Amino acid sequence: MKNQELVDYLMSCGVCKVCQLRYLRARGSEYNDIHKSLQRLGVKVTEDQVEDEDNVISTDEQPLKKPRLSHCSTCLGIFSEDFQRELIEGIIASEFGKYDSEGIVLAITMPMSLQLRQLSMWFALQRKFGSTVHSNSPPDVPIKEAVKLILHPIICKKLDKKYDANGLVISIDLRHKVEEEEVDKLVELNRAAFPGKALRRVEISRGLLEKQYQPSRVKAETFEKYLPIPPTAVDESLSLKSVDLQGPMVCVAGRYRKLSRELSHTPWLLQGVRQMEDSIEEIIIRSVGPHFTETVPKITFMSSGREDVDVRCLGKGRPFVLEIPNSRRSTLTREQALAMEQAVDTSGKVSILNLQVVPREQAMNIKTGEEQKRKYYRALCALKEPATLEMLQKLQISESFDIQQKTPIRVLHRRPLHTRPRTIYSVKARLQRDNPLVLVIDIVTQAGTYIKELVHGEFGRTTPSFSSIIGKPIDIQALDVVGIDLDWPPEVDNSVAE
Ligand SMILES: [Zn+2]
């Protein structure tokens, strides 16, 4: 078939010019200048068409032009200038302006009528042009694909945004008044075309339509008993049903110091009852979350390891990252970051620094190699009898050694019973302020070592232990984490102006 014949036939069926190009299989820049592209494809553009094109393309300046009598029978007007305007107005009227994301993604849900009409036109073209139209490969560029080619760039341009798969997701649901009736017909058609598979209305999905509804699987004669071939033009265009926005995931990283020995890492609940009024997670999220999102409870807090409730974390602090879904803002100035750091400081229990937005793909840094990392601790330990020089010498260990550690009794309710090998890299003990009953011991260990049990041995469940090394009872009184072996996120001093 010739392009001209095809276009003449499509025009007689009330198909718009964008769709004519779709049926000429235009898949690129052809849609930028439809008139020229049609001519280039050997289609004579009549006066009538040019005028019609003016109707489709022209903008606001001609309020008195005659109302359109019909909309395209295959796209229901989705590519018309009027509909584009409605779409953009709908997006702007939503909470779109509250999001600062530079990138957007469009997710457009179209009425199933569009798929039915595509199939109807497929049958019509087979009847008209015979075997030149295949039964299992569609004669047109599918509307979904054409929407990406045509509507996406126009909407991005009008909204002054870039297309970005990780950007703000704009979900647009479209409806058309013919859909309900046509889907009812489809349910009947489905019963006739695929007997034995009586699907209810809700079970007929777009995916099913795409898969099952092709001329190779449904007969035109069956189809035509329920829906017309070719599809008929409609007097109303598609309209917007809803616009939903989902902001991008933004990741904010920093380091925290835990200054309190009475603070849990995350909300601590026992049988539904809170054991402590606050937690590191809550203090940080409370100060950082609201800047980014209205759905603060959806924020996820992750850190490179954690401390026990009674353990402080000092030094440069422990890296953490917040994953903030549906974020309205994607940036943080140093000034804003400093204000958040100061707000956390006022808790007196936690202090944070190096707060910054980090690329999403870096957020998992926090978990990588956790098992291999070294941990740096300082333990305050008590003896039952005064320390001897021999004891102090035995607790100066500069070469690494391995211990076998059974799961401590105190965590057995949440961890399985295992014996794990752990490496201790170094031990360095000294007297605290010449008090012979108290030792300060600096310990470097493999991540995952239980330090309290390393000190007292827990009745031989950890061997060797400091107690077994010196042959005397020794207990831990207080523990601080003094360093974390993770050089991330990068250091930033938010108190220095940008
Ligand atoms: Zn159309």
Q: What is the Å distance from ligand 1's center to 161 Cα? A: 26
Asked if 376 and 484 count as a contact pair (C-beta separation under 8 A), the reply is: yes
Task: Please say whether the dihedral angle defined by the alpha carbons of residues 97, 100, 103 and 104, taken in this order, is positive or negative.
Answer: negative
Q: From the candidates 52, 164, 308, 310, give the one annotated as an active-site residue.
A: 308
Least confident among 14-18, 65-69, 391-395: 65-69
Q: Name the pTM for this structure.
A: 0.79
Q: Which residues contact 415 (CB under 8 A, 6 or more apart)?
A: 407
Question: If you average pLDDT over every residue of the chain, what do you get?
Answer: 90
Q: What is the pLDDT of residue 50?
A: 46
Q: Classify residue 96: in a domain, yes or no.
A: yes
CB 304 within 8 A of CB 466: no
Across the range 41-64, mean pLDDT stands at: 55
Which pLDDT band, with edges at 50, 70 and 90, does 210 fall under? confident
- 254/355 same-domain check: yes
Question: Which whole number is the average pLDDT over 317-330?
Answer: 95
Q: What residues make up the domain containing 476?
A: 374-484
Averaged pLDDT, 150-163: 93
Instruction: Give percent of the chain above pLDDT 90.
Output: 70
The answer to the question of residue 104 being in a domain is yes
Q: What is the pLDDT of residues 364-411, one digit of tens each?
A: 888 876 667 888 999 999 999 999 999 999 999 999 999 999 999 999
Q: Which of 218, 246, 274 is the last residue of a domain?
A: 246
Give the pairing type, strands 162-163 and 103-109: parallel
Residues 242 and 255 reside in one and the same domain: no
Instruction: Give the distance (Å) from ligand 1 centre to CA of residue 160.
Output: 26
The answer to whether position 354 is within a domain reads: yes
Q: What is the pLDDT of residues 68-106, one digit of tens each?
A: 558 999 999 999 999 999 999 999 999 999 999 999 999
Over residues 113-119, the mean pLDDT reads: 94
Residue 458 is part of a domain; what is its CATH number? 3.30.70.3190
CATH number of the domain residue 277 falls in: 3.30.70.2510
Mark whether 117 and 154 lie in a shared domain.
yes
pLDDT at 414: 87
Distance 82 CA to ligand 1 centre (A): 13
What is d(CA 456, CA 312) in angstroms, rounded to the nearest whole number?
19
pLDDT of 55 higher than 50: no
308 classed as catalytic: yes
- Residue 419 Cα, ligand 1 centroid: separation in angstroms? 69
First to last CA, the chain: 65
**pLDDT at res. 467:** 97
CA 313 distance to own-chain centroid: 31
Say how many Å lie between the CA of residue 184 and the centre of ligand 1.
23
Mean of pLDDT values over 428-453: 93
Side chain identity, residue 187: V
Query: Residues 424-437: what's their mean pLDDT?
Result: 92
**Distance, CA 207 to ligand 1 centroid (Å)?**
22
pLDDT band at 54 (very low <50, low <70, confident <90, very high): very low
Query: How many structural domains are present in the chain?
Result: 3
CB 441 within 8 A of CB 381: yes
Asked whether residue 277 carries a pLDDT value surpassing 90, the answer given is no
Flag the least confident range among 131-135, 307-311, 315-319. 131-135
User: For the CA atoms of 91, 94, 100, 105, what is the dihedral angle to 10 degrees?
Assistant: -40
Judge if 380 and 472 occupy the same domain: yes
The confidence score (pLDDT) of residue 66 equals 46
Residue found under tokens 């605290």: 432
| Domain-ending residue, one of 194, 223, 246 | 246
